[in-house]
Amino acid sequence: MSETSTKKFNIDTVENAAVTPDVQLPWAELGLKQNEFDDVVKVLGRRPTGAELAMYSVMWSEHCSYKSSKNHLRQFGEKVTEEMKKDMLVGIGENAGVTNLGDGWAVTFKIESHNSPSFVEPYQGAATGIGGIVRDIISMGARPVAVMDPLRFGAIGHPDTARVMHGAVAGIGGYGNSLGLPNIGGEMVFDSVYQGNPLVNALAVGVMRHEDIRLANASGLGNKVVLFGARTGGDGIGGASVLASESFDSTKPSKRPAVQVGDPFAEKVLIECCLELFKGSLVEGIQDLGAAGISCATSELASNGDGGMEVELTSVLLRDPTLTPGEILMSESQERMMAVVSPENVAAFEAAMDKWAVEYSWLGEVTDTGRLIIKWEGAVIVDVDPRTVAHDGPVYDRPFARPEWQDALQADTFTGSVQDAARPSTAEGLKAAVLELIASPNMCSKDWITNQYDRYVGGNTAMAFPDDAGVIRVDEETGLGVALATDANGRYTFLDPYHGAQLALSEAYRNVATSGAIPMAVSDCLNFGSPEDPDVMWQLAEAIRGLSDACMELGIPVTGGNVSLYNQTGTTPIHPTPVVAVLGKFDDVARRTPSGWAEDGQAIYLLGTTAAELDGSEWANLRGHLGGAAPKVDLKRERELGEILINASRDGMIDAAHDLSEGGLAAALVESSLRNNAGARVALDEVAARDGVDIFTLLFSETQGRAIVSVPRSEEVRFNDMCTARRFPVSRIGVVDAAGGALDVQGLFTAPLDELREAHEGTLPKYFG
């Protein structure tokens, strides 16, 4: 190390690095592989400085570089038709994709994971997960308008599950509620495969006018670079600094936070302040700071711009003055943004900051050198081509192969298994089975969770949980709006990754269409185990291939997403869990279709046919069985069903609709009855005979492409005609009996709504208080 020391640190300058090629650097501790470090040296033509090493190591990590998945993710960009691109204003690659809604409106949405922080410290991990995804949305120039939270926990009765559940839900609520963003939906699944690896995914959606779309680039020679929001602390850089060689007293390394604490108030102010910047057109480019902090923001802004960038790192406002340059570059402190501002807007920018009492510091400016130069008290400590940091990271073609156990797994069907032996068939047995199903951990009411979320704030929530999709009004004059649903079934994907990913898409698509919206775009969060395990890598490759094929067939593009790997405990990975979010559009959200019926005497129709598909089902899960084939994917059928549900909503033919998914017809009938406390009388013999299945199978099978709807008497002819004209299977299975107070399955059993409700709503309070 050189003697060019300041008061605090031995600073490793570029000049110094050039003349001290043999200095040992802690690249392995920072997570780089030998070949990757060699690449850095090759790219630079010398050894990296400590600060450069910090940047490359975080930017070339799996999380930031997508090195294991990049080769596969390409398919999302390749399998797209011109038609699919029509409404895509910004595609994959930016902070979040942007979709055209018409009338000059655009919508941006994205889903991300915050899995491992949420295991370590559930409250803060989940809270900062919401914070991070919301900043992605702001950085596109949008006003965030809603969030969603797909969750996976370990077994419901496991002693550690309550800790994670309580913390994660309170954290999501605590942060999201404080931002004024309604939570409009999500998922909740308990499965022991997630015991040591809960999944906390978070989705945010924002809206903007077309002219307000902002991109993350630093262009325009002489424009100023500014960092604003929270101060930079030692967050997210590990317990002990491996860059201790930089610190002047290496005998006493300062403490670094083990977890990050979110400050939702700071983020709320940041949102308002950014919207004010956008309103005044005060920023040329903007980027949120998430993983890899300033390393990521500077290198991405610079490499997406038209020149270079030069910044002085000592200008960064610090929460902890002991941070070394490398640590400042790596810090993941929350609630920060970086922007590029033209000199004439500097005063107006500062006025906006002062109004909201947001701290900022000017770090440097855009240059025309094509280099990213970072200085420490004037000495150059980073001199790189920013592309090499941000975009030219390593890419791996990891080996993958169909696991040798996959065939045996698929051969082990539920039908005929030991667990299936006691399949209920009597009236009493069926009623008990329905009660057991709707009280089960995954099928029970999610009120315990969703009651902790503000769904009203903003005044534009036209629909939220427990309806099939969340619906947000975008334009108060016209009612233009969006619908969103997220889905994934880890068991299906475990049985068959290719089709499992397609089933996740099918279900999210179906949920959006059931609400009456036209599906338009997809975002996904791929939660998998270690890519270094060829079995897992195969699951990932298959899931991406399946999802991209299905998007093409359904005609809706993936506009962005996130990959979360290494979700495993020891060598045991989680079920492959590709969470898929589908966004749909309403010309007028007043047309949204809720999931519960209300009007006495309306006819209940079942759309679609039922096959014997119990493998991987909730019922099989309840019986402790997992094997066989995932339900059949039929995208053509999903599309047809979607068209019927959308038309029926638009033309006012139906008053309620609920799709059939996990838990099948049994779950759907109960949920639609409980929604408004309006019972129904249904008769199932005819459909069972038509489809050639027994009543148990009709109730519990998870065949895709189905929904139940309630149709006003006056619309029955029109509705039937529409289905018939489309040759879509439809059957009238009952009527709404609003005052009857029961779900009456004729000839079999009558279940009072109170009894169903008690079963459905009692489970989470029983376990979690």
Partner 1 sequence: MPRIVVDVMLKPEILDPQGKAIVGALPRLGFTAFSAVRQGKRFELTVDGEVTDEILAQAREAAETMLSNPVIEDVVNVEVVADQP
Partner 2 sequence: MTETPLIGGATLAPVDARLAGARIGVVTFPGTLDDRDAIRAVRVSGATAVELWHADSGLGGVDAVIIPGGFSYGDYLRAGAISRFAPLMSTIIKAATGAASSNPLPVLGICNGFQILTEAHLLPGSMIKNDHLKFLCRDQVLRVENNTTAWTNAYSAGQDITVPLKNQDGQYIADEKTLDALEAEGRVAFRYVGGNPNGSRRDIAGISNAAGNVVGLMPHPEHAVEAGYGPGHTGTDGLGFFTSVLNTLLGGN
Residue numbering of the annotated binding site for ATP: 66, 110, 524, 561
Q: What does DSSP assign to residue 95? A: S
- Going by DSSP bridges, is the β-strand pair 360-367/379-384 parallel, antiparallel, or unpaired? unpaired
Counting contacts by CB under 8 A, is residue 333 touching partner 1? yes
**Which conformational region is residue 435 in: left (phi greater than 0), alpha (psi within -120 to 50 degrees), or beta?**
alpha
Q: How far apart are the first and last CA of the chain?
A: 58
Residue for token pair 């600094």 = 241
Binding partner of 768, given Mg ion, partner 1, partner 2, none, CB within 5-8 angstroms per partner class: none
Binding partner of 281, given partner 1, partner 2, ligand ADP, none, CB within 5-8 angstroms per partner class: partner 2
- Cross-sheet strand order for the sheet of 742-745: 656-659, 707-711, 603-607, 730-737, 679-682, 742-745, 749-752
Looking from the CA of 553 toward its CB, the CA atoms found within 13 Å total 18
Counting contacts by CB under 8 A, is residue 468 touching partner 2? no
Binding partner of 659, given partner 1, Mg ion, partner 2, none, CB within 5-8 angstroms per partner class: Mg ion
Q: How far apart are CA 466 and CA 523, in angstroms?
A: 21
- Taking the least distance from each CB to Mg ion, the nearer of 241 and 621 is 621
Minimal CB distance residue for ligand ADP: 186
Site for partner 1 in 334-353 (CB under 8 A): 334
Binding partner of 767, given partner 2, ligand ADP, partner 1, none, CB within 5-8 angstroms per partner class: none
Binding mask 195-234 for partner 2 (x = CB under 8 A): ------------x-x-xx----------------------
Binding partner of 449, given Mg ion, ligand ADP, partner 2, none, CB within 5-8 angstroms per partner class: ligand ADP
Binding partner of 368, given partner 2, ligand ADP, partner 1, none, CB within 5-8 angstroms per partner class: none
Write out the H or E segment, with its range, that includes residue 652: none
* Per rule CB under 8 A, count of chain residues that contact partner 2: 52
Counting contacts by CB under 8 A, is residue 260 touching partner 1? yes
Q: How far apart are CA 324 and CA 244, in angstroms?
A: 8
* Tokens linked to 209: 């006018």
Q: Mapped to the 3 state alphabet, what secondary structure does 48-67 carry?
A: CCHHHHHHHHHHCCHHHHCC
Residue for token pair 């029955």 = 716
Q: How far apart are CA 442 and CA 81, in angstroms?
A: 37
Counting contacts by CB under 6 A, is residue 466 touching ligand ADP? yes
Enumerate the active-site residues: 63, 114
Out of 475, 524, 638, 691, the residue judged to bind partner 2 by CB under 8 A: 475
Binding mask 353-392 for partner 2 (x = CB under 8 A): --xxx-----------------------------------
The least distance separating ligand ADP from the CB of residue 708, rounded to whole angstroms, comes to 12
Binding partner of 477, given ligand ADP, Mg ion, partner 2, none, CB within 5-8 angstroms per partner class: partner 2
Neighbours of 448 (CB within 10 A): 19
289 Cβ neighbours under 8 A, 6+ residues apart: 135, 227, 229, 296, 297, 332, 333, 336, 337, 338
The total number of residues written for the chain in this structure:
769
Residue for token pair 């709404």 = 736
Out of 28, 221, 240, 259, the residue judged to bind partner 1 by CB under 8 A: 259
Out of 94, 112, 235, 662, the residue judged to bind partner 1 by CB under 8 A: 235
Whether 702 and 443 have beta carbons less than 8 Å apart is answered as no
Whether 352 and 281 have beta carbons less than 8 Å apart is answered as no
Which candidate, 430, 579, 445, places its Cα nearest to that of 501? 579
Dihedral sign, CA of 101, 705, 664, 496? negative
The least distance separating partner 1 from the CB of residue 263, rounded to whole angstroms, comes to 4
Judged by CB under 8 A, the stretch of 77-85, 227-235, 482-490, 531-539 that binds partner 1 is 227-235
Q: Please work out, in degrees rounded to the nearest 5, the angle formed at the alpha carbon of residue 668 by the alpha carbons of 457 and 446.
A: 40
Whether 285 and 339 have beta carbons less than 8 Å apart is answered as yes
Counting contacts by CB under 6 A, is residue 151 touching ligand ADP? yes
The least distance separating ligand ADP from the CB of residue 605, rounded to whole angstroms, comes to 18
Counting contacts by CB under 8 A, is residue 177 touching partner 2? yes
Counting contacts by CB under 8 A, is residue 129 touching partner 1? no
Counting contacts by CB under 6 A, is residue 12 touching ligand ADP? no
Which candidate, 170, 216, 215, 159, places its Cα nearest to that of 192? 159
- Taking the least distance from each CB to Mg ion, the nearer of 511 and 523 is 511
Residue for token pair 């059931």 = 514
Binding partner of 124, given Mg ion, partner 1, ligand ADP, none, CB within 5-8 angstroms per partner class: partner 1
* DSSP string for residues in 711-733: E-GGGHHHHHHHHHHTT--EEEE
Binding mask 271-290 for partner 2 (x = CB under 8 A): -x--x--xxxx---------
Out of 52, 136, 468, 744, the residue judged to bind Mg ion by CB under 5 A: 468
Whether 746 and 688 have beta carbons less than 8 Å apart is answered as no
Binding site for partner 2 (CB under 8 A): 141, 143, 145, 170, 173-174, 177-180, 207, 209, 211-212, 263-266, 268-269, 272, 275, 278-281, 355-357, 450-463, 472-477, 589-590, 594
Binding site for ligand ADP (CB under 6 A): 149, 151, 183, 185-188, 446, 449-450, 465-468, 487, 511, 661-662
Binding site for partner 1 (CB under 8 A): 120-121, 124, 230, 233-235, 254-266, 319-320, 333-334, 357
